[in-house]
Structure 1
Amino acid sequence: MFKKVLIVEDQEIMNQGILNTIKELNIPDFDYVMYCDEALSRIKTALEKKSPYDLLIADLSFEKDHIPQQIRSGQELISEVKKVQPELKTVVFSVEKKAKTIDDLYKKYKVDGFVSKARRDGQDLKSTIRKIFNGEIVIPQEVINTMRHISSEFDVYDMKLIELLAKGLKQNEISTYLKEHRMTPYGIRSIEKRLNELRDSLGAKNNIEMIVTCKDIGLI
């Protein structure tokens, strides 16, 4: 099991829950901080002392207060940490729900696991840490399912339709845009048909609901 863990979380109640999980896993050495700047500083200091952390658990969102910070998000922190200790195993523990945002954590920031803050998050966190220690990359199944659905159902044309709708363009204006940018089909009937198919695919009753759903899963 991991020997030294750094927890970065600005909510004390959440910190206590994570600490309980760490203790249940019999991890002997752990620290927790509430600020990303301090987290990066501790990681650098641990490296200099040749006593590095081997697991980082971090939230994504941090509330602003009277103490100014250079690093303002979990993504920024992970990016900076990977520059100084690229091999450090990383778990994101967050309320984030957008599948695209979570997917980016793996593809862009190379995290090893994501745990959603929920009722059973202690058990999920414990399971995720164990799997990561055994060499696994732990991706929530709901994220895998959503991203598979998106990749199989939505292409560049579809994304542009939804993007233009979200900007408030009407179907005749969308038709003009597509024609000017040589994207086909650009006929109004074809656009209307494809929008119907996309709404059905997402289980949306209307265009507004479809746009909201796409925002929720991080498509736009």
Structure 2
Amino acid sequence: MFRKTLIVEDQEVANLGIMSTLEELLIPRFDFVTYCDEALQRLKAAAAENAPYDLLIADLSFKKDHIAQKLKSGQELIYEARKIQPDLKVVVFSVESRSKIIDDLYKTYHINGFVSKARNDGKELKNTIRKVFKGETVMSQDILNAIRKIPRDLDEYDLKLLELLSKGCKQNEIQTYLKEHRMEPYSIRSIEKRLNELREIFCAKNNIEMIVICKDIGLI
């Protein structure tokens, strides 16, 4: 089992739950920090002392307070941690539910497991840590099913259309933006056609419903 774990979480109740889980797993040493900057310094110091952490458990979002931080999210911390210790095992423990965001955690940040904060999350966290220790990449069936629903044929043009639409831009305003940024096609007819196609892809009755769907999965 893991010997040295770093937990990055700013909620005391969550920390107590994680502590109980690690004690049940008989992990001998675990340290808690509430800021990503401090976590990165701990990782650097441990590596320099040739006594690195072998598991990082991190949340994604942290409340701002009077202490300024360079690293403002779990994603930023994981990215920097990988530079220091590429083989570090990472488990994200978060309330995040947007499938696109979670998909990016695996594909871009190469996490080893994701656990949703919910009922019975202690049991799920324990099982995930065990599997990650054995070398597995852990993704629950619910998350896998949600990720499979993310359209894979969207490009930068499509994402920009959805973003502008979500900001309340009208089609003539979208046309102006696309033309100014040399993103083709930018004719009103082409924009209308692609928006119709996107509504079909997302099975949405109108643009408003489509934007709600996109926000729910984290595309915009």
Structure-2 change in CA distance of 1:162 and 1:2 (3 Å) = same
Q: d(CA) in 2 for partners of 1:67 and 1:178?
A: 40
User: How far does the alpha carbon of each residue in 1:48-103 deviate from its partner, in whole angstroms, 9 at most, with x for none?
Assistant: 22221110001111112232322221111111211111111011111112211111
Partner of 1:183: 185
Q: How does 1:1-220 map to 2 (within 5 A)?
A: 1-152=1-152, 154=154, 158-170=158-170, 181-183=183-185, 188=189, 195=195, 198-199=198-199, 201-220=201-220
Count of residues in correspondence between the two structures: 218
Q: d(CA) in 1 for partners of 2:203 and 2:171?
A: 21
Report the secondary structure of 2:93's partner residue: strand
In the superposition, the TM-score normalised over structure 1's length comes to 0.83
Q: d(CA) in 2 for partners of 1:136 and 1:162?
A: 36
User: How far does the alpha carbon of each residue in 1:104-155 deviate from its partner, in whole angstroms, 9 at most, with x for none?
Assistant: 1122222111111111211111111111111111123344333333235645
Report the secondary structure of 1:150's partner residue: coil
Amino acid at match of 1:58: A
Structure 2's unaligned 5+ residue stretches are none
Structure-2 change in CA distance of 1:155 and 1:48 (3 Å) = closer
Q: d(CA) in 2 for partners of 1:43 and 1:187?
A: 52
CA contact (8 A) 2:185 2:191 kept: no
Q: d(CA) in 2 for partners of 1:137 and 1:122?
A: 18
Q: d(CA) in 1 for partners of 2:194 and 2:126?
A: 44
In the superposition, the TM-score normalised over structure 2's length comes to 0.83
Structure-2 change in CA distance of 1:37 and 1:105 (3 Å) = same
Amino acid at match of 2:119: R
Structure-2 change in CA distance of 1:3 and 1:60 (3 Å) = same
Two-structure CA RMSD over aligned residues (Å): 2.7
Structure 1's unaligned 5+ residue stretches are none
Report the secondary structure of 2:149's partner residue: helix
Structure-2 change in CA distance of 1:183 and 1:142 (3 Å) = farther
Q: d(CA) in 2 for partners of 1:212 and 1:145?
A: 19
Report the secondary structure of 2:212's partner residue: helix
198-207 or 80-89: which moved more?
A: 198-207
Q: d(CA) in 2 for partners of 1:47 and 1:145?
A: 37
